Chain A
């Protein structure tokens, strides 16, 4: 069970809003880069986010570039999962590869600042503040295994290659 506060964002949050190109010179200095997480979407976010909190967004979260620094800095900020109505393809794979869960659910029913509790095993989000319960979609078994290993690098170190179930 993961518990934390919801930080709400809108639709189409691009990787440029999460970690802009103008900060590319910090990409080999991740602790410094992480201080700017989601800066162009909400300049106050980095100062407010607490370990365990959730990023809660609308549709197409993480659209745009392939920069894995985007889920990486979100994870470094202590965010335990991203909840979104939908998520861009490359961002989805990158987040799982970094061990950051992506939970697809009807985020319109969650308000900014709500206290959330996520049960990964049951696939349920409980909004403690509002009492609303939401289920989130399953992810493919290969991605569950990568997430379960803590990301792609530990997964490959463990299995030496990709294991497709069945």
Chain B
């Protein structure tokens, strides 16, 4: 009997015939932590009595969530993490290098790898075909120490899509629509596997956006087959030798098949306070927005900034709407400067912040005031997420974000492009 992508990768790595429902122990290719979950991870590692990771070269620490530090307490956490990296031999990406998930995709994730990170959006690397999943601090500390962890092999939902997206509709709209269909816990413990021409034609940026949000339906991983797009992406990053094709078997067993009518999709928006509260953007016309956030690990890549810049070029943001831009990495930031996108966004009135997580998780750089609404290209709109339980967060694509920044109210981007 055939295997899903999740079963294939976990079989290959564990050396067992891994089938949905089995529990396996598998080696990890990359273990990482970041500055809000990292200090607890490092302390759990030390508390267990470990000095060195099993393989320090496979361990990495990112200072991206509160970077640069907004407080002395978090600055002290950063000091602790930098020292921990020196003492254990783990790699370190410091302030301004970018969001962990973007850097993992740009630099390290390979098809068929197993990656665990102390951050729920670790699933992003599923876009590259890596079995990548978020875990808590204790699990990540032990994975660092032992170089392996245990997994329950997930059942798989096959997400099938054919055809082309309409103008103004993006990968973000696909995943928002899908989460609306599945529900915020509709895929809990499952693997989402994205197949069909719509996904095989999709570029790596779109794949990363979709995989990034698999967790918002509760999923353990969001996996794309490794194919020519994966090969070209690795090659462009100087990692062509790490390519291996991985496709699910035609006779693999799926718990559920969900077909998405790609050509008929519209720009979508997730309303407060859950990611599955999704409607077409046009239905929210007239909803006042005080802040637009463009960026983050979901939509802070070069293509996202290019799309927003193309809509805002030569225009001005609405006078009562502030636009905050957080590029996903330093490489993205630099490329966006060189391509002129940053100038276009600045001329439109944007505030550009450090490459990193930006205001997404409510630490700094754009916490919401009482009763304020933010339309964000990020992945979470939970109550309190952006620093204030009395704020409101709407999630949408970079195109919808740019159109909304122009009009000052939620706007279907097809009205302005």
Interface residues, chain A, CB within 8 Å of chain B? 12, 14, 16-17, 20-22, 24-29, 40, 59-60, 63-69, 72, 86, 88-90, 93-94, 97-98, 140, 142, 151-153, 156-157, 161-162, 164
Contact = CB atoms under 8 A, between A and B. Distances in A.
A25 B40 contact: no
B383 interface: yes
A25 B74 contact: yes
B77 A60 contact: no
B367 A22 contact: yes
Interface residues of B, number: 57
Given A140-B23, A157-B48, A26 B361 contact: no
A88 B185 contact: yes
Contacts of A97: 136, 138-139
17 contacts: A14-B380, A16-B383, A16-B384, A20-B385, A21-B385, A21-B387, A40-B384, A65-B119, A66-B136, A69-B40, A93-B139, A94-B136, A97-B139, A140-B23, A140-B152, A151-B138, A153-B141
A142 B120 CA distance: 22
B120 A60 contact: no
Contacts of B231: none
Contacts of A67: 36-37, 136
Q: Is the interface of B mostly helix, strand, loop or mixed?
A: loop
B307 interface: no
B253 interface: no
A40 B70 CA distance: 22
A153 B184 contact: no
B169 to A, nearest CB: 27
Contact of B136 (A16, A17, A20, A68): A68
Contacts of A90: 120, 134-136
A22 B363 contact: yes
B363 A60 contact: no
Given A22-B363, A27-B36, A64-B120, A153 B218 contact: no
